Copies of this chain bind each other. A is one copy, B any other.
Amino acid sequence: MITGKNYIGTKMSAGGSKIFKTFNPVSNIENEYEFYEASTEEIDLAVASAWKAFGSYQDYSGERKSEFLNAIADEIEALGDTLINTYCSESGLPQGRAMGERGRTMFQLRTFADLVKKGDWVDAYIDTAQPDRAPVPKPDIRKMMIPLGPVVVFGASNFPLAYSTAGGDTAAALAAGCPVIVKSHPMHAGTSELVSSAIIKAANRTGMPEGVFSNLNSSGIEVGVQLVQHPQVKAVGFTGSIRGGRALYDLASKREEPIPVFAEMGSVNPVVFLPEALKQRGEALAKTYAGSVTLGTGQFCTNPGLLLGIKGKDLDYFITRLSEEIVLIEPGCMLHPNIIGAYEKNKEKALAYNELKLVSEYDNEIGDNIARQAVTTVEGNVFLDNPALHQEVFGPFTMVVQCKDKEQLEAIILKLEGQLTGTLIAGGNEAVAFNGVIEALRNRVGRIIFNGVPTGVEVCPSMVHGGPYPASTDSRFTAVGINSIKRWVRPFSYQDWPNKLLPEALKNENPLGIMRFVNNQLSADSV
């Protein structure tokens, strides 16, 4: 049952006077429930409660945190069809996608549960004392990762589950030992409340401290601003637009105590089609990319919005076939009237440049909130000189840039902003001859793909989801995979600390049996 209230820890609260509703883009009407935007008092209470919880939660064993995370996954599953139906009614995304995303969310939670249960992630180092060293004795020093403090997570519009309330940021922060305050996305406040109820149930069931999790509603930016400025908030996770992410980053940087903001923002995910590949597989590539551009109605941060090739008949053929294929695909519903509004506006803005040609656009009759997928093309020199054309058009839109030659292709890549991904489509051995292009791409992206598509972000330890600004605000961390836990921790040293007062991970006898660097040798032995 959705109540529209905020979760301040385990307490449900509706103290604010501002009310809003979510919207069903498929039926094009508002959903029934009314949500209460969090008041300043509620925000302060949630943070104070998280801060208090941090006092104990930071020292909970991996075993206990693991129970909590697994319990969250169980409770999310137990929400059953209620969750799936709410998800669909608040996003316009199909049931299959909802179920897939729920699976991904549970997988992420269980992966972090395994990680903290195993315990090695704390990156333990032990350098033992050398009392006889000259000229001064060497102390005993031991180091491990400890949590930063309360983390604020902003729900993402395009992933109501996997990058929202109990998504990757929340799972990683809870695993690290940080309490989490979610600022739910206004487009799916109901989904967020349901998931929050699962988290709270799990917290109660596994004996977590009051305040380890809160969920706050808001339709505007005020709640988020207050949270990021709160002195007891120590880090922020965000997935969304460059404008939104940058605004949070700027707020956090201006604090008396600046805090890290991990914002995963926009990307056009350049794909380079080398000549040989286009010659050999133009037809197949057109089909594959028509699918990738329109997947999830183009609402993925890894959507291929920029296709680069060298001018010629093979590229012409690819453009023609891509255009034909893309209009055959049944157009999809976008997440919200605001999202499709922005899509249409940004498409129009790009096409206002005469040099950008619309090659094809779905032009049968369509319903409300349905996005017409589009293929556009432009000459390399025009693209090179017009940074406005480098901007993302969030939706099922792509731009094929026809480069004069290899040098122009490389020059264009060098001029791109930071990207989440870059893809190289190559035939035979031709990649070797394009080393400069590959190097240029590597310096602009966080992940490079060979003969594939950028959509589809595998949840695994090798994944980097992030990249040079503005793909993310801090390219030194990934937002996906177990290493994303590193965003919420800091290293901490104990010098000459008595064994019995050390945390388990650093005790001589290695009671957790974890791998540690002992005097620079990796070992699970006791010291």
Contact = CB atoms under 8 A, between A and B. Distances in A.
Chain copies in the assembly?
Answer: 2
Interface stretch (A3-11, A323-331, A496-504): A496-504
A138 B452 CA distance: 12
Interface in A337-377: none
A265 to B, nearest CB: 12
A455 to B, nearest CB: 11
Given A258-B473, A452-B139, A493 B462 contact: yes
A491 interface: yes
B447 A495 contact: yes
Contact of A461 (B258, B462, B517): B517
Contacts of A496: 449-452
A312 interface: no
Contact of A448 (B260, B447, B494): B494
Contact of A249 (B258, B449, B522): B258
Contacts of A31: none
B446 A493 contact: yes
A505 to B, nearest CB: 12
A487 to B, nearest CB: 8
Interface of A: 55, 125-127, 136, 138-139, 141-143, 146, 148-149, 249-250, 253-254, 257-258, 260, 417-418, 431-432, 438-439, 442-443, 446-452, 456, 458, 460-464, 466, 468-470, 473-478, 483, 486-487, 489-498, 501, 515, 517, 520, 522
Contacts of A497: 448, 450
A95 to B, nearest CB: 15
Contacts of A258: 249, 253, 469, 473
Given A468-B257, A517-B461, A490 B446 contact: yes
Nearest to A498: B450
B493 A461 contact: no
Given A253-B254, A442-B492, 6 more contacts: A136-B456, A448-B492, A449-B495, A449-B496, A468-B490, A477-B491
Given A431-B498, A469-B258, A490-B475, A463 B515 contact: no
A411 to B, nearest CB: 14
Nearest to A115: B520
A461 B431 contact: no
A417 B255 CA distance: 14
A126 B498 contact: no
A492 B446 contact: yes
B461 A125 contact: yes
Given A139-B458, A462-B125, A468-B257, A483 B491 contact: yes
15 contacts: A125-B462, A127-B458, A139-B449, A141-B458, A141-B462, A148-B475, A250-B253, A431-B498, A431-B501, A446-B490, A446-B492, A466-B490, A476-B487, A476-B489, A476-B490
A463 B127 CA distance: 9
Contact of A476 (B260, B438, B478): B260
A474 B260 contact: yes
A464 B493 contact: yes
Given A138-B458, A143-B461, A461-B143, A448 B490 contact: no
Nearest to A141: B462
Contacts of A55: 439
- Most chain B CB within a 10 A radius of its CB, from A148, A418, A520: A520
A253 B257 CA distance: 14
A415 to B, nearest CB: 12
A514 to B, nearest CB: 12
A486 to B, nearest CB: 8
